[in-house]
Structure 1
Amino acid sequence: MAKSRQNLQTRHEELIVEHSPKSPVSEAYRNLRTNLSFLRPDEPLSKIAVTSSTPKEGKSLTVANLAISMAHNEEDILIIDADLRKPMQHKFYDLPNYEGLSNILTGELKFEEAVQETGIDRLSVISTGFIPPNPAELLSSHRMEEVIEQAEEEFDFVMIDTPPVIAVTDAAILGKKLDGILLVVASHETERGMLEKSTDKLKKANVDLIGTVLNKHPVKDGAGYDTYYYYYGE
């Protein structure tokens, strides 16, 4: 998919694991990667969603950096951006978003035509494509199940970026098609009530909440600068 990248909004500099692999944040992502790999030793995870309670908690950035960490571990990784309301993944990787998941789900594009290389070895992305008027219906379709199945066949690990839990049902819909969901929580930002509502909503939808990621927690690095650290736990 050779598309012009002129005037694309980019957030490529936020890919800390790629640009600062020795930083505390990168190490935290590697720890998260390791914890996921040991979570179910008898039935290893191969497809998960990442979400948050509300917007701007960092779930899309968590997807991007965790995926890079996995790719660095010699795994073939696919990110599917299923946030059909506010797509972000194409911005992190400086990719066009003319065609993607929504085009696959409406029959306009084949799976293999939507997969884009990121420029990072062993890491690929399917962006959202056009913003549809009916995201929930598309994501709950049988065709979405086929997309997930094909992705699982062709890649070692599939990570799906979904909208926040509180606002819409998309995360719960997709979670039931996957091995589980990671919930990103912004330190000192996420309200306890919203977090409780999110976990309750996922539980009622019979979605396996495999862990939480504490994001935006200020710590001091060796140089005395504020940075962030990510934590995984059941």
Structure 2
Amino acid sequence: PTEAARPKPTLYTLVAALIGLAIGVALAFLRDRLDRRLRTPGDVEARFEIPVLGRVPRRGRSEASISAFNESYRILRTNLQFAAGRDRLNSVAITSGGVGEGKTTAVIQLAVASAEVGLRVAILEADLRRPALQERMLPDVAQPLRPGFSNYLVEEMPLQQVIHATGLPGVSLVPSGPIPPNPAGLLETHRAHGVVEQLLRMHDIVLVDSPPLGVAADASILASSVDGVLVVVDLTASQEDVVADAIRRLRAVHAPLVGLLLNRDRGAEVSRYDYYLSPKPKRKRAEQRLAASSGDGASQPASPSGRRA
């Protein structure tokens, strides 16, 4: 009689492993195809061909992390000075594709960085739908500052009455004011289009906190009143199609789009600024790490952009 076939556990194990590997590869490929998040500066630059003017790391609690965070906005301030060639950017609107990508924080930090070099800064809180700037900038002020931007547009009061001190040297704030029933309609008025120009008569630079482009058309309306528009991209959350739609909206109205700001960029963590931000006793170790990573014995300092000096 024919001998019964014996089980072949090795073969079965090999086949099962190959099937599992194939399924894993297929799932990883599918995940990458469905995940439309922009994860790296390379992803952003390759997709949109728009200059990246700043890379902001996550802000931690350590002194080094906070210093790196602040330094990233000083670099942004400098890059904005050259973004328009010979023309100076005296007014910049900062927006994003979606909610929660960091545009309001960017406005505040850029204002602080600008005031550090002696500029008189006016912040215009033009997000008349979900204003959050005062809460983040002045957390100790319990009541909303009044009058505000919407009061100026509706009641035709003098602009000086809606400009408030912030406690930060050189930085003034025009708060949003009461939320109006039709923000887009107010922003299309003659008074709205002239407010930036009037603020520049009293300040060196005006920073506009604009609503997200994916929420309403308000930011597109405001774009015609400023010298440049900066779009914030959150590398932990921003979806490619949302950012693409925001850029499309700006280009449709011929907005002066000057560049992108990458927020929560893991590639811009403390190590990029270690040489400049570390206390002097630590700089020797920073130089040694830089020399090791370059593959030679030279200990040239790295610039904030990561290039050799």
Secondary structure (helix, strand or coil) at the match of 1:48 reads: strand
Question: For residue 93 of structure 2, what is the aligned residue in structure 1?
Answer: 49
Q: Match for residue 24 of structure 1?
A: 68
1:134 to 182, 200, 209: 182
Structure (1/2) with the larger strand percentage: 1
Match of 1:151 in 2: 199
Paired letter, 1:78: A
Following superposition, the deviation at residue 41 of structure 1 comes to 4.5
Cα distance change, pair 106–119 in 1 and its aligned pair in 2 (3 A): same
Name which one, 1 or 2, has greater alpha-carbon Rg.
Answer: 2
The structure with the greater share of residues assigned to helix is: 2
Output the CA distance in 2 between the equivalents of 1:64 and 1:208: 21
1:117, 1:123 within 8 Å by CA — same for their partners in 2? yes
What amino acid is aligned across from residue 88 of structure 2 in structure 1? P
Could you tell me the percent identity over the aligned residues? 33
> Would you say the 8 A contact 1:20–1:26 is kept in 2?
no
- Normalised TM-score (structure 1): 0.83
Partner residue of 1:74? 118
Q: Which runs of 5+ in 1 are unaligned?
A: 1-14, 223-230
Matched, 1:212 2:272: no
- When the two chains are superposed, the root-mean-square deviation of aligned CA atoms in Å is 2.2
AA aligned to 1:209 is: L
Aligned residue number for residue 177 of structure 1? 225
Cα distance between partner residues in 2 of 1:146 and 1:200: 25
* Distance apart, 1:146 and its partner CA: 2.4
Candidates 267, 270, 276, aligned match of 1:221:
270
Tell me if the contact between 2:102 and 2:232 (Cα under 8 Å) persists in the aligned partners: yes
1:89: how far off? 1.7
**Range with bigger deviation, 90-99 or 73-82:** 90-99
Q: Distance in 2 between the 1:20 and 1:148 partners?
A: 36
Contact 1:68 1:123 in 2 (8 A): yes
Q: CA deviation at 1:208?
A: 1.4
Q: Name the residue aligned to 1:60.
A: 104
Following superposition, the deviation at residue 54 of structure 1 comes to 0.3
Instruction: Report if aligned partners of 2:64, 2:270 keep a CA contact under 8 Å in 1.
Output: no
1:110 aligns with 2:154: no
- The amino acid across from 1:55 in the alignment is V
Q: Which moved more, 1:105-114 or 1:168-177?
A: 105-114
By how many angstroms is 1:56 displaced?
A: 0.3
Q: Which moved more, 1:213-222 or 1:158-167?
A: 213-222
Q: TM-score, normalised by structure 2?
A: 0.63
Structure 2: gaps (5+ residues): 1-58, 272-304
List per-residue Cα deviations over 1:21-42 (Å, max 9, x = no partner).
9710111000000001122352
**Is the 1:97–1:130 Cα contact (8 Å) retained in structure 2?**
no
Residue 50 of structure 2 corresponds to none
| Match of residue 12 from structure 2 | none
Q: Residues of 1 paired with 2:150 and 2:238: CA distance?
A: 30
User: How far apart are 1:88 and its partner, in Å?
Assistant: 1.5
Distance 1:47 1:103, change over 3 A: same
In structure 2, what residue type is equivalent to 1:145?
H
Distance (whole Å) between structure 1 residues aligned to residue 65 and residue 76 of structure 2 = 14
1:131 counterpart SS class? coil
